[in-house]
Amino acid sequence: MDSNICSLNQLHQFSSCFIGLHSQNSKSTLKFSQSSTFNAFSPRELRPLRLGFRSNSPVVACRSVSEIETETSSPAAKRSVSVSPVYVPTPVNRDTRTPHSGYHFDGTTRQFFEGWYFKVSIPERKQSFCFMYSVENPAFKRTLTPLEMLQHGPRFTGVGAQVLGAKGKYICQYSEESQNFWGSRHELTLGNTFVANKASRPPSKVVPPQEFNRKVLEGFQVSPLWNQGFICDDGRTYYAKTVKTARWEYSTRPIYGWGDVGSKQKSTAGWAAALPIFEPHWQICMASGLSTGTCFSPSCFEILCIDFLLGFCWIEWDGERFEFQDAPSYSEKNWGGGFPRKWFWAQCNVFEGASGKISLTAAGGLRQLPGLTETFENTALIGVHYDGIFYEFVPWNGVVTWEIAQWGYWNIAAENKTHTVELEATTTDSGTTLRAPTVEAGLTPACLDTCLGDLTLKIWEKNVGGSIGKLILDVKSDMAALEVGGGPWFNTWKGKTTTPEVIKSALQVPIDVEGIFGLAPFLKPPGL
């Protein structure tokens, strides 16, 4: 199918394939030929592939018969269903909102970044999609002038959007300008416009999907309940398999925040995260949710814009569509001056061996302490949500130990007063290099990730004397997300949390930071 040229008098052949849809990429154009034939898209070779979008903007994609038959021959395809992502505005005072959901930029010119991570796992396809957004030094909307560099020193600026998708392929779009980036001060809503429709002003808040598609040609918007975007690879990635474009649109129903279900949600790093001291800060925004929608990561596709026929229909080839319904999902964020010196991370929402929703997040790093000298500390945590209960293992309520290889092996264990936990993960996947915001080089290759990790997770209750007692959770997964980053990684990293007693005691004090600032909202810092 080399031709993408069709004549007006042949458009009726697509009538079974068109349902009213507003254009999702108004940059694309429809080419017309004077020919009266259209062999490339003969109706005998095409079948409609139903995609259950919202009723007010449904779409249908068409593929060749041979391609459809190949796809539906797999068990996963036979189990697929038409799904409908539904956009819902974020309610005020939602139950699962965690502290630090908002955008933490305070308007000053200090070294600053903020990054967000959203993951959707599709167990039926054994594939995951990871969406990563970041902004660096937003006080400078464009690259620094010579005078600004003299005044503030060298800074890297801009906005990045990355997706690690199916089969380990990758896409990145980056701009050194951030004037079209926005984030809510106290809620998990943000977005950016890389390329706007010339007739529209870029959004400055989350807007309905149809309005976003109308105003934004390339960009993204995200909320706790909605994630949508379209980006184009900028050609800067030579070390990974890439796709040329990626589009996504899905809704999410949060299940776990960071804490027991029905209780006040916790700050991942404790109340001290409200202070710009132990940077970078880290917050799990949603330990587990259920997402519904579509993602597609084509290496080549075209959109045929047909204003005069019921709206628009797009056609893709040499690409693949992923539909999912109630797929396990997750989100977290980082902010501060820069990433740790080195770090590891593991996250999983897809498990076998137990009923009920289970979510695991574990991470650790070597981070710099504030001061004039370069002093670093080991820090780590493990958090598990199981059957509505949150099992928290952090440096201020116990000890975390780890053994992490340069790549391929993760062993992390911890204990607190009541429980002991251990996870072990391996992977034979070679991984995909991702970018992270760094002080030294901006958004640069800095970590290695996979979503194809084999992981086992066990939790035991402790007996009265502190010995290991009843095994309460024993599960495994072959879809764990695993990461190592920073460096140097000369050999296996064996470590243990080393929190000074004075800090450990201070973090155990039950300070309700949000409650305190609730008495004086005008003093509430951004992000909290």
Could you read off the pLDDT of 11-55 as tens digits, one per residue? 333 333 333 333 344 333 333 333 333 333 333 333 333 333 333
Task: Clarify whether residues 332 and 355 are in a common domain.
Answer: no
- Write out pLDDT tens, residues 386-398: 999 999 999 999 9
> Virtual CA dihedral for 314, 317, 322, 323, nearest 10 degrees?
40
Tell me how far apart the alpha carbons of residues 347 and 482 are, in angstroms, rounded to a whole number.
Answer: 7
Task: Clarify whether residues 321 and 394 are in a common domain.
Answer: no
- Residue 345, pLDDT above cutoff 90: yes
CB distance 415 to 392 below 8 Å: no
- Residue 295, pLDDT above cutoff 90: no
Q: So what's the pLDDT on residue 290?
A: 96
What is the band of 83 on the pLDDT scale with cuts at 50, 70, 90?
low
Tell me how far apart the alpha carbons of residues 329 and 123 are, in angstroms, rounded to a whole number.
Answer: 11
Percent of the chain with pLDDT over 70: 78
Token pair of 387, please? 């059957």
Token pair of 289, please? 């949710």
What is the band of 526 on the pLDDT scale with cuts at 50, 70, 90?
confident
Q: What angle do CA 421, 480, 163 make, to 5 degrees?
A: 135
Task: Clarify whether residues 322 and 298 are in a common domain.
Answer: yes
- Residue 506, pLDDT above cutoff 50: yes
Task: Clarify whether residues 346 and 408 are in a common domain.
Answer: yes
- φ, ψ of residue 338 in degrees (nearest 5): 180, 170
Amino acid at 227: N
Q: Quick check: helix, strand or coil at residue 41?
A: helix
Q: So what's the pLDDT on residue 18?
A: 30
**Terminal Cα distance for the chain, rounded:** 53
CB distance 243 to 171 below 8 Å: yes
Q: When comparing pLDDT for 295 and 110, which is higher?
A: 110
- Write out pLDDT tens, residues 262-275: 999 999 987 776 67
- Write out pLDDT tens, residues 186-223: 999 999 999 999 989 999 999 999 999 999 999 999 99
Q: H/E element holding 483? A: strand 468-486
- φ, ψ of residue 441 in degrees (nearest 5): -140, 10
The structural domain count of the chain equals: 2
What is the band of 369 on the pLDDT scale with cuts at 50, 70, 90?
confident
108, burial (CB in 10 Å: exposed 0-12, middle 13-18, buried 19+): exposed
Q: H/E element holding 515? A: helix 513-518
Specify whether the backbone of 428 is left (phi greater than 0), alpha (psi in -120 to 50) or beta: alpha
Q: Which domain holds residue 306?
A: 1-338+504-528
Lowest-pLDDT range, 244-248, 298-302, 426-430? 298-302
Which residue is associated with the tokens 């004039």? 372
DSSP bridge pairs for 333: 116, 283
Q: Quick check: helix, strand or coil at residue 145?
A: coil
Question: What are the helix (H) ranges across 272-344?
Answer: none
Q: Quick check: helix, strand or coil at residue 78?
A: helix
CB distance 114 to 334 below 8 Å: yes
Task: Clarify whether residues 208 and 172 are in a common domain.
Answer: yes
Q: H/E element holding 458? A: strand 442-462
Percent of the chain with pLDDT over 90: 62
**pLDDT average, residue stretch 328-345:** 94
Tell me how far apart the alpha carbons of residues 255 and 15 are, in angstroms, rounded to a whole number.
Answer: 41
pTM of the model: 0.81
Q: So what's the pLDDT on residue 367?
A: 84
What DSSP state is assigned to residue 225? Answer: T
Task: Clarify whether residues 286 and 347 are in a common domain.
Answer: no
Task: Clarify whether residues 290 and 432 are in a common domain.
Answer: no
Task: Clarify whether residues 331 and 349 are in a common domain.
Answer: no
> Which of 224-233, 259-268, 406-415 is most confident?
406-415
Token pair of 437, please? 């915001």
Task: Clarify whether residues 333 and 351 are in a common domain.
Answer: no
- φ, ψ of residue 418 in degrees (nearest 5): -115, -20
Tell me how far apart the alpha carbons of residues 409 and 421 are, in angstroms, rounded to a whole number.
Answer: 17
How do strand 31-32 and strand 5-6 relate by DSSP bridges?
parallel
Amino acid at 421: V
Task: Clarify whether residues 334 and 344 are in a common domain.
Answer: no
Task: Clarify whether residues 3 and 24 are in a common domain.
Answer: yes
Q: Considering only CA atoms, give the Rg of the chain.
A: 24
- Residue 495, pLDDT above cutoff 80: yes
CB distance 303 to 314 below 8 Å: yes
Which residue is associated with the tokens 């009541």? 418
Residues in the chain, overall count: 528
Distance of CA 72 to CAs 68, 81, 126, 316, Å?
6, 12, 16, 17
Among 153, 116, 110, 157, CA closest to 138: 157
Task: Clarify whether residues 284 and 373 are in a common domain.
Answer: no
